Amino acid sequence: MKSARIAVRHPVYITMILIALVLFGLLSLGSMNVEFVSGMNMPTVIVYTIYPGASAEEVERGVIDVMEENFTTLPNFSSMTSNAYANVGVIQIQFADGVDAYDMLDEVRNRLDELADSMPAGIQGSPMAIVGGTEMLPIFSFTVEAGEDLAATTSYVNDVLVPQITRLDGVSTVSVSGGSQVELVVTLDTQELADRGISVLQVYQILGYSNTNLPLDTTTYNGQSASLRFDGEYESLDDIRNLTIGAGEDGTLVHLSDVATVELVASEPDTVIKNDGRQIIQVDISKRSDGNTVAIAQSVKDILAREEAAMNGGVHFNVIADDSRTISASLAAVIESGIMGVIVAVLVIFLILGNIQATLTIAISMPLSIFFTFIAMKVTGVTISLMSISGMVVALGAIVDGSIVMLEQIYKHWQTRKDGKALYTVNQAIFKGADEVGVSILGSVITTVIVFVPILFIQGLGGQIMRDVALTFMFALTASCIVALVIIPYLLKKLLKEDHRKITDNVITRTMDRITAAYGRAVSWVLRNRKFVILISIVVLVVTVWAIVQLGIAFIPSTDNSEFYVNLYFPSSNSAEENEAKLDQAEAIVRGLIPEVQTVVTTLGQTSGLSFTSTGSNGSIRVILPPVAERDEGRDVHTLMAIVKEELDRQMVDTDVEVLNGGFDNLVSYVSGGGGYGITLVSEDQELLYSEAQRIAAHLESDPEVYSVTMDSSYDSYSAVIKASNDMLSSLGLTSYEAGTTTAILFNGMDSGVYTDPATGERYDIKLRSDVMGQPIDANTLARLHVVSSTGADVSYASIADLQVENTVSQINHTDRANTITLNAAITTEDSSRIERRLDEYLRQYPLADGVTTQTGGVGTLIEDIMVPIVSAMLIGFFLVFMVMVFQFERFDQPLVVMLTIPFCFIGVSLGLMAFGSTLNLLSMLGVITLGGTAVNNGIILFDYTNMTLKRKRMAAIEEKYAIKADEDTVLYGRLDYATERRILAESIIESAMNRLKSILMTTLTTMMGVVPMSLATGEGSEIYASLGQAIAGGLFATTVISLFVLPVIYYTLERRKIRRAYGKGRKDAKSMEVAR
């Protein structure tokens, strides 16, 4: 090939290219982001609306329904989910793949401006729109302890730590939980107000109006222009205490301090977070899509180390979640697998070639291909991640295939002798070898690479995950082709000498010669027993179908990232103190069951994951474990989760317990709307929907492979409505707004401005509340309270309003505007198909009520979404492989025969996965697609060489018979007799099979052994990529056996039929034909 001639004749060019390749490869490697799995994000915008005091039904009617109707017409709209809670409404809008969510954010905000007049009057502020997706999930979390003053610690975190972290490159948001703010609290004494005839609303208005700072435009002072403002703000707490809010019957002035206490107090945190019983603050850091997780985490650690040193032990930080550790550990495990694969592959090459010089030449080609891959990754924006490195590791064995074929062919000609002398010079050997196998190498690489092209067009989450693996593999194989066609001839020109052509002869080569001879005899036997071989092949295909059916199906294998979560849902009748005691009890149980636990963090008021609401009726426990090797009896996270779940259910019968895996499983759970097995019920009737959901939940809980079931809605909430009498209000001269404001202050408290301390500049929110706030509300409470009418009359609160309490739904969910309830089952296995089959059988016996339908939920949604695209991509990829082979062979029959190796690879894939207990998942399916390109390579090498050998032998036979120089026109069938044609055909197949055996074994074994360490890996994150290696290793073994023993039979059968057609069905010799002289 021309590339070999350029490499040999212009070595300086190639040398400079190699130097540049290494240099830019290292630069690219150093500048790429490092992530666990990149691209797991869908363009999403979240709209968050606060509607204080509203029930879930009111939020649905007043907020969700109004917004949904408008948002469905957004450009690039894909789907929408909505959740209506008490006081809060959340809508998540998902857009089409490839859309920039930040571009859509402006459009959503414009729509919200248009809807402002349609929103209920009681919503707090304006609805907030933010970019959602996995970017909201924290990549680094730590806790802060700094003494008993929680408010001071919160101030330190917000004023000192958060600004430093926010400034780091790539950081998106920094969230602080469990903190407390100092507020200026004015607590009204309701009895004193009633005795003095002063209304709550009167105090509220005076408190707000007496703290004013107004700009008054500009004025002229001493002939100069000056800005003018009115300053009537409070200058001290005494200013507030001394506010005149009314007068007694004798004209005595009443000050605020007479009817209220005014003090700076620390607010109660929305969530209470503890570690070892000590109340702490938790800080969560999220990154932008282009942020480098490892770099951000290291920078945060540096900040924490500096602060800890600067505070002289006055503050303590505890890192509870660090994605960079998971990333580093996972990448280290997969890189270790890759290094082991390289070592094994090089060893295999040496054991087959028996030549150190040749082995080193192949070994040198590996890093060159890798450097090229790094450059291509940098240019295309592929990051260093578990997926991209897995693709590279898979490619490590395959990238030497072309180099092996090229080197062996050049060596063969370099060592060829005639009459005791070298037949070819070094240059001639290189050029001849490159000419003979260059096209085959190019075709082989193209077939391997082209099968991945359809994957690049798969949309959705599955396509994002597979993209990095596919691109990295394609880059590495493309690089290997360039190395084989250019660099190997260049290196051999340097290494091979004209006067030193020692033919390798040692134990290894002699052993290989005996194996080759035995293989030749085996090929001869299968050619004589073709029917038996074909029958066995058919049986194997039947077994393949059976094996595939036995495999479990999953989206991504579950991982052990040394953490899990326990979510606790307490009875709504519990007090906050009872819930705190329950949470402490659960923590003690977890610590008792897992004595080796590293850290346990409890949160009262919020469950794990992203939450837009806080309630004292639930809590969570985050359990941080040591690595598997350091745990008692090496228990994996799934075993521990099952033990914890069983014990908590036994000891806490009145509490619903949900146990969820952390790490990568938590990410998958978030993007799928729930992990494990999920089913979504749809109906317009909310009560019927809930009833049927309860029935399905009860059935799922009885399933042997399910250990917990959660439902995203319930009727365990209560709505207390203080219903006012408009007639009574009118008679007292009160408006509904005045009565409502008074009620809010009495029972909930209200903001009433901001107080700025002149000495420190600190700003404090002023909270106006009453002494009944926090007390249980009942009819007696209302009877004890008094309000003042417009005439100054003292009226019992119970006379103007009644208390109505009703059971209500806690959460209302919509999926694309339809009412839904989703049940998520935490399961003991990765394969949810058996659970689904059992549930389907149950629903056939006991159908859902009319008007209730089902949709797949949880991870099942991801499986459904990816299955059709990935199968389509697989079939299109296989067609592209066939098309390339047709171009290469310029015929249809032989490419079709080579394609037969692909169905046989499934038996190896199935047995490989079954041997390790793995499932048919996204990564193992990717392995099947990879095999579609690599499995045909052996057939291409074998058939291409057999065609050349057959042509050469027939030309030699024709030249001997007719004493002419044979050419393309003289090798047609009919020149020789039938017996000679069959003999030549058999000899050509056997000779070609023996000659190519070494290449086939080396290319197959290097690829197979390259992924075997990956298949056996046990490091953190190895569960994800292990199935990829298992599928490829098993599939390659099966296709190699087929290529070595079945393809020769099919080749013989096809060519023999042509001979039979040419010679009257093979029974008569051809008539003599006159040859043009």
pLDDT of residue 750: 86
For residue 696, pLDDT beyond 60: yes
Mean pLDDT of 754-772: 87
**What percent of the chain clears pLDDT 70, i.e. is strictly above it?**
93
Q: Is the pLDDT of residue 1070 over 50?
A: no
pLDDT for residue 1066: 43
pLDDT at position 845 is 92
> Greater confidence, 907 or 676?
907
303 pLDDT exceeds 90? yes
The per-residue pLDDT for 1074 is 33
The pLDDT-based confidence of 589 (bands split at 50, 70, 90) is very high
Q: Is 647 helix (H, G, I), strand (E, B) or coil?
A: helix
Q: What is the pLDDT of residues 76-109, one digit of tens each?
A: 998 899 999 888 999 999 888 778 888 888 999 9
Residues 725-744 have pLDDT tens digits of: 777 777 777 777 778 888 88
Placement of tokens 């299968």 in the chain: 526
**Binning pLDDT at 50, 70 and 90, where does residue 416 land?**
confident
Does residue 1022 surpass a pLDDT of 90? no
Statement: residue 527 has pLDDT above 70: yes
Per-residue pLDDT averaged across 141-150, rounded?
Answer: 86
Superfamily designation of domain 526-555+891-1068: Multidrug efflux transporter AcrB transmembrane domain (1.20.1640.10)
> What's the confidence (pLDDT) of residue 901?
84
- Whether 785 contacts 772, CB under 8 Å: yes
State both tokens at 49.
């609306």
Asked whether 618 and 571 are in contact (CB, 8 A), the reply is no
**Residue-level pLDDT at 1077:** 29
Mean pLDDT, range 587-595, rounded to an integer:
92
What distance in Å separates the CA atoms of residue 650 and residue 385, rounded to the nearest whole number?
Answer: 41
pLDDT confidence of residue 191: 85
pLDDT-derived band at 132, boundaries 50, 70, 90 = confident
Share of the chain above pLDDT 90, in %: 16
Task: Output the DSSP codes for 597-638.
Answer: --EEEEEES--SS--S---TTEEEEEEE---GGGSGGG--HH
Three-state secondary structure string covering 374-432: HHHHHHHCCCECHHHHHHHHHHHHHCCHHHHHHHHHHHHHHCCEECCEECCCHHHHHHH
- Whether the pLDDT of residue 525 is over 90: the answer is yes
Q: Is 95 exposed, middle or buried (0-12, 13-18, 19+ CB in 10 A)?
A: buried
Q: Where in the chain do CATH 1.20.1640.10 domains reside? A: 1-31+355-447+478-497, 526-555+891-1068
Contact between residue 1013 and residue 337 where contact means Cβ atoms under 8 Å apart: yes
Fold of 182-221+234-266+718-808: 3.30.2090
| Residue owning tokens 């307490």 | 570
Q: What is the pLDDT of residue 292?
A: 85
Measure Cα distances from 139 to 323, 459, 567, 619, 964 in Å.
5, 25, 20, 22, 77
Q: What is the mean pLDDT of residues 55-70?
A: 90
| More confident position, 1075 or 815 | 815
Write down the CATH number for the domain with range 562-661: 3.30.70.1430
Please give the average per-residue pLDDT across 805-827, as a whole number: 84
Mean pLDDT of 883-899: 86
Look at residue 343 in the predicted model and tell me its pLDDT.
Answer: 82
Q: Report, as an integer, the average pLDDT of 764-785.
A: 82
Angstrom distance (rounded) from CA 238 to CA 81: 51
For residue 1072, what pLDDT band results from cuts at 50, 70 and 90? very low
Q: How far apart are CA 82 and CA 278, in angstroms?
A: 37
pLDDT at 609: 57
- Read off the pLDDT band of 1067 (50, 70, 90): very low
Half-sphere exposure of 309 (CA within 13 A, CB side): 6
Q: Does position 674 have pLDDT exceeding 70, yes or no?
A: no
- What's the pLDDT score for residue 970? 59
Label residue 501 by pLDDT band (50, 70, 90). low
DSSP state of 497: B
- Are 813 and 83 within 8 A, CB to CB? yes
Identify the pLDDT of residue 608: 64
Instruction: Encode pLDDT of 102-125 as tens digits.
Output: 888 899 999 999 998 889 887 888
162 or 716: whose pLDDT is higher? Answer: 162
Q: Write the DSSP assignment of 868-936 as a string of letters.
A: HHHHHHHHHHHHHHHHHHHHHHTSSHHHHHHHTHHHHHHHHHHHHHHHTT--B-HHHHHHHHHHHHHHH
Measured CA to CA, the distance from residue 662 to residue 623 in angstroms comes to 9
Domain 1-31+355-447+478-497 has CATH 1.10.3210.10: no
pLDDT of residue 1071: 41
Using the predicted structure, report yes or no on whether residue 806 has a pLDDT greater than 80: no
Cα separation, 336 vs 326, whole angstroms = 15
- Chain region(s) in the chain for CATH 3.30.70.1430: 562-661
Task: Give the integer Cα–Cα distance in Å for 110 and 32.
Answer: 36
Q: Does the pLDDT value for residue 304 go beyond 90?
A: yes
**Range list for CATH 3.30.2090.10 in the chain:** 182-221+234-266+718-808
Q: Is the pLDDT of residue 611 over 70?
A: no
Q: Is the pLDDT of residue 567 over 70?
A: yes
Crossing angle of helices 1022-1041 and 323-353, in 10° steps, is: 20
Local confidence band at 858 (pLDDT 50, 70, 90 cut-offs): low
pLDDT value of position 64: 93
pLDDT of residue 585: 92
Q: What is the mean pLDDT of residues 777-782?
A: 76
Give the tens place of pLDDT for each residue, 539-556: 988 888 888 877 877 777
User: Mean pLDDT across the chain, nearest whole number?
Assistant: 83
pLDDT at position 40 over 90: no
**pLDDT reported for residue 789:** 67
pLDDT band per the 50, 70, 90 thresholds, residue 673 = low
Mean pLDDT of 45-68: 89
